[in-house]
Chains A and B, each alone.
Chain A
Amino acid sequence: MSVGLENKGGFRAWLNKRLPVDQFMADQLTGYYAPKNFNVWYFFGSLALLVFVMQILTGIFITMHFKPGWNTAFDSLQYFVREVPYGWLIHPMHAVGASFFFVVVYLHMARALMYGSYKGPRELLWVIGMLIYLALMAEAFMGYVLPNGNMSYWGAQVIINLFGTIPGIGEALTEWIRGDYGIGDATLTRFFSLHVIAVPFLLALLIALHLVALRQVGSNNPDGIEIKENLGADGKPVDGIPFHPYYTLKDIVGVGAFLTVFAIVVFFVPTFGGLFLEAPNFEPANPTSTPEHIAPVWYFTPYYAILRAVPDQKLGALLMALSVAAFLFLPWLDRAKNKSYRYRGLLSKLHLGLFFVTFCVLLWLGLKPADGLYVLLARIFTALYFLFFVSLPFVSKMDGNGPVPTRVTYNAH
């Protein structure tokens, strides 16, 4: 699309001759058509980007004062929180921000599951998204270890030891990760390097790729029909509206609502009942004192519950890895003709609904001690978790082929 600034003078023309600012805006925002029927679930993509930027900004200020290392990490963080102006605000923003990152990403993923956003032609978009999710897990884990609290230490023990279950190279791999025979100074300094440089760079790259892929195929929508297949006389999708101003303005409303909830947590309940910041982490790491029960932060607990459900540690670790990786195969496991669950049968709806419940129950179980009834429940729900992926090809084939409307569902204001 040509913008036609050739006749104009002034700074803007000067700039555009040298840098295609207006062209970029026209291609990416005002000339990019998105379906007009986005609902509340479509806020979480832009919100994830917002949280990413916020984590980088707060992280920059923490990095100025934080001193990684066995003897310095805990003290320097307390110094930051207590003595650096607004450290008391920036640190909880970063720590609570990590949890909100996962809240937003999980809701973003749930949206993709409900409306079949991972299905062709968006398979790569989904796969890149899953890579972002994996990188985010690594980033969050290392960030959690850095303050060297007691739960940081014991949580890291459990998670790093998982790599030890890999046959042959396991033992050597754990030493390579820790840089030592146990978690110590070398572990913290390398995690710092990875947490502030390597993984954020990787995340930025993957997010850029995610957006490029999104622009290539266009957004899906709650009805799961392709708006590009229904063009008007002007060559624009009849069910599409320019991303700017419509969705930029709408996303700002989402940003406002999100920041309100975020601020309530940061200012009034930053530990969120021990869920976002765990009580044992207010004690420095102590290799001779194990917390009452070790649990990772809530966003890892669904997988942790699966790990503990299996009596054999090696098999448990394998199942845990599989449970994360399973999402990658969704585009090829789902064999329905229709994308959106709106136009699938009751069986499909119950099938997906049960999976959401299963995920949440596993999340809860992972926070509980692994004994008695909890273990039994974890086993049942682990089975249900995998049953979802295994049965998806059949369920989706069976009742995912009903009639779909030609236009998206939209009620004008």
Chain B
Amino acid sequence: MRIKFTSIVLTLLIGAAAAQANEGGHASWQRAAENEVANLASLQRGARNFMAYCSGCHSLKYARYSRIAEDLKISDETRDQLLVKPGAKFTDYIRSSMPEQDATEWFGKVPPDLSLVARSRSPDWIFNFLTTFYADPASRQTGVNNLQLPGTAMPHVLSSLQGVQRLKPVHKEEEKKEGAAATSNGSGESAAESGHSDSPFEPGVVGSLTPAQYDGFVRDTVNFLQYVSDPTQVERQGLGIWVVLFLLMFTAIAYLLKQEYWKDVR
């Protein structure tokens, strides 16, 4: 009876957690970022990418250059040459170069701070956002649209690398249907399982990177953003192993001590 109750409670708790984790199914074109946040080389490349392509408009207002350099093992020289923006000190937080008023004028909104985007969205979300820009003549502002965030105000900043792909006509139809379904029940879950595993895109204007190279570029950038969202995560997990091992040993010893004393209880 006890065992049953315990297992019911546990099963339901774990079930709830799993259900929560799987929240919002994914569409066939969505891919996993498959980034490794412990990979220093990838993080360094990601930092370089971010400073070169993102930091003009987006801030990382909770992250300092110095901390990033320290965590990513970037030398002081490289830090000052490649990481720190002109006019900034190496101990500064990373601010966007664009005045807010100009941003509102140009894009209709201030580009969001990206310090926590990997936690408020997810690494996969950013990966899909950065890989699914496509040419859309209907978008008069930027000439592009995005599958992950339809109607985004962001132009395709990486078009010189990726080129500008076109959405396959079949997918355009599906997008419309899915869009309609999604609005009818208020969630994006119906976008799942459209049955196509191949890319929804066809090549348009060619960029300087191959598709595989571009994915790698985005993966590094996403990886860097995941690091910035929780800069201690690698250190925390490293320490966590020792803490858990210690506690297991402590529990075992406490158990043996308790058994010794409880021998007297008849």
Q: Which residues of A contact B247 (CB under 8 A)?
A: 256, 259-260, 263
The distance in angstroms between the C-alpha atoms of A203 and B122, with both chains bound, is 37
Contact with B along A88-126 (1 / 0, CB 8 A): 110000000000000100010010001000000000000
Question: Is the beta-carbon distance between B19 and A367 smaller than 8 angstroms?
Answer: yes
Q: In the complex, identify which listed stretch (A21-29, A274-282, A323-331) lies at the interface while the others stay far away.
A: A274-282
Interface range on chain B: under 10, 10 to 19, 20 to 34, or 35 or more? 35 or more
Contact A39 to B2, CB < 8 A, known contacts A256-B250, A283-B116: yes
Give me 6 other A-B pairs in contact (C-beta within 8 A), A41-B2, A275-B20 excluded: A250-B258, A267-B244, A274-B21, A283-B120, A360-B16, A361-B12
Sorted from nearest, which 6 A-B pairs have the closest CB atoms? A267-B240, A256-B251, A273-B21, A360-B12, A282-B120, A88-B232
Contact indicator B120/A279 (Cβ below 8 Å): yes
The answer on a CB contact under 8 Å between B251 and A292 is: no
Which residues of B (17-32) have their CB < 8 Å from a CB of A?
Answer: 17-21, 23
* Chain B residues within 8 Å of A39, by CB: 2
Asked whether A256 lies within 8 Å of B254 as measured between CB atoms, the reply is: yes
Closest residue on chain B to residue A92 by CB atoms: B236
Binds B, one of A175-183, A208-216, A349-357: A349-357
Closest A-chain residue to B112, C-beta based?
Answer: A283
Which B residue sits closest to A364, measured CB to CB?
Answer: B16
Q: Is A401 an interface residue (CB 8 A)?
A: no
Taken residue by residue from 281 to 299, chain A's Cβ proximity to chain B (1 for < 8 Å, 0 otherwise) reads as 1110000000011000010
Check A372 for interface membership: any CB of B closer than 8 A: yes
State whether B265 touches A364 (Cβ < 8 A).
Answer: no
A78 touches B261 (CB 8 A): no
Give the distance in Å from the alpha carbon of A267 to the alpha carbon of B232 in the complex: 10
CB contacts under 8 Å to B, within A238-286, are 241, 245-246, 249-250, 252-253, 255-257, 259-260, 263-264, 266-268, 271-275, 279-283
Question: Is there a chain A Cβ closer than 8 Å to B138's Cβ?
Answer: no
In the complex, the answer to whether A356 meets B261 with C-beta atoms within 8 Å is no
Interface contact B21-A88, CB-CB below 8 Å: no
Q: Tell me the number of A-to-B contacts counted with CB atoms below 8 Å.
A: 143
Per-residue CB contact flags for chain A residues 361-387 toward chain B (1 = under 8 Å, else 0) read 101100101011000000000000000
**Residue positions of A touching B, CB distance < 8 A:** 36, 39-41, 75, 78-79, 82, 88-89, 103, 107, 110, 114, 222, 241, 245-246, 249-250, 252-253, 255-257, 259-260, 263-264, 266-268, 271-275, 279-283, 292-293, 298, 341-342, 349, 353, 356-357, 360-361, 363-364, 367, 369, 371-372, 410, 412-413
Residue of A nearest to B188 (CB): A292
Given A249-B257, A256-B251, A264-B244, check contact A369 B186 (CB 8 Å).
Answer: yes
Bound CA span A361–B12, Å: 8
Contact between B236 and A353 (Cβ–Cβ < 8 Å)? no
A256-B247 Cα distance, complex, nearest whole Å: 6
B183 interface residue (CB < 8 Å to A): no
Across-interface contacts of A103 in B (CB, < 8 A): 13
A363 partner residues in chain B, CB cutoff 8 A: 12, 16
Measured CB to CB, the closest approach of chain B to A96, in angstroms, equals 12
Write the nearest CB–CB distance from A43 to chain B, whole angstroms: 12
Selected contact of A275 from candidates B4, B8, B16, B239, CB within 8 Å: B16
Residues B263 and A82 in contact, CB atoms below 8 Å apart: no
Asked if B9 contacts A356 (CB within 8 A), the reply is yes
B residues in contact (CB < 8 Å) with A:
1-2, 4-6, 8-9, 12-13, 15-21, 23, 62-63, 67, 115-116, 119-122, 185-187, 229-232, 235-237, 239-241, 243-244, 247-248, 250-251, 254-255, 257-259, 261-263, 265-266
- CB contacts (< 8 Å) of B257 on chain A: these are 249, 252
Which residues on the A side are within 8 Å of B262 (C-beta)?
246, 249-250, 413
The smallest beta-carbon distance between A261 and chain B, in angstroms, is: 9
Q: Chain B residues near A252 (CB, 8 Å)?
A: 254, 257-258
B8, A360: Cβ atoms closer than 8 Å:
yes
A301 to chain B, nearest CB (A): 9
* Interface contact B240-A268, CB-CB below 8 Å: yes
Nearest B residue to A86 via CB reads: B232
Contact of A367 among B20, B240, B250 (CB under 8 A): B20
Considering the chains assembled together, what is the distance between the CA atoms of A89 and B119 in angstroms? 17
A281 to B119: give the CA distance in the assembly, Å.
9
Chain B residues, Cβ within 8 Å of A259: 247
B236 contacts A364, C-beta separation under 8 Å:
no
A274-B250 contact given A88-B236, A263-B240, CB 8 Å threshold:
no
Inter-subunit contact B259/A413 (CB<8 Å): yes
B232 and A369: CB pair below 8 A? no
| 13 A–B contacts from the bound complex (CB under 8 Å) | A103-B13, A246-B265, A249-B257, A250-B262, A256-B247, A256-B255, A267-B239, A272-B17, A273-B20, A275-B17, A283-B116, A342-B1, A360-B12
Q: Which one of B116, B235, B248, B258 contacts A253 once the chains associate, using CB atoms below 8 Å?
A: B258
Q: How far is the CB of B233 from chain A (nearest CB, A)?
A: 9
B260's nearest neighbour on chain A, judged by CB, is A249
CA distance A18 to B185 in the complex (A): 71
Inter-chain CA distance A249–B231, complex, in Å, is 39
Complex CA gap A264/B13 in Å reads 16
Chain B residues whose CB sits within 8 angstroms of the CB of A292 once the complex forms: 187
Collect the chain B residues with CB atoms within 8 Å of residue A361's CB.
12
Distance to closest chain A CB from B148 (angstroms): 14
Supposing A263-B243, A275-B20 touch, asked if A282 and B119 sit within 8 A by C-beta, the answer is yes
**Do residues A268 and B17 form an inter-chain contact, with CB atoms below 8 A?**
no
Contacts of B6 in A (CB 8 A): 40
Q: How far is the CA of A332 from the CA of B62 in the complex (A)?
A: 55
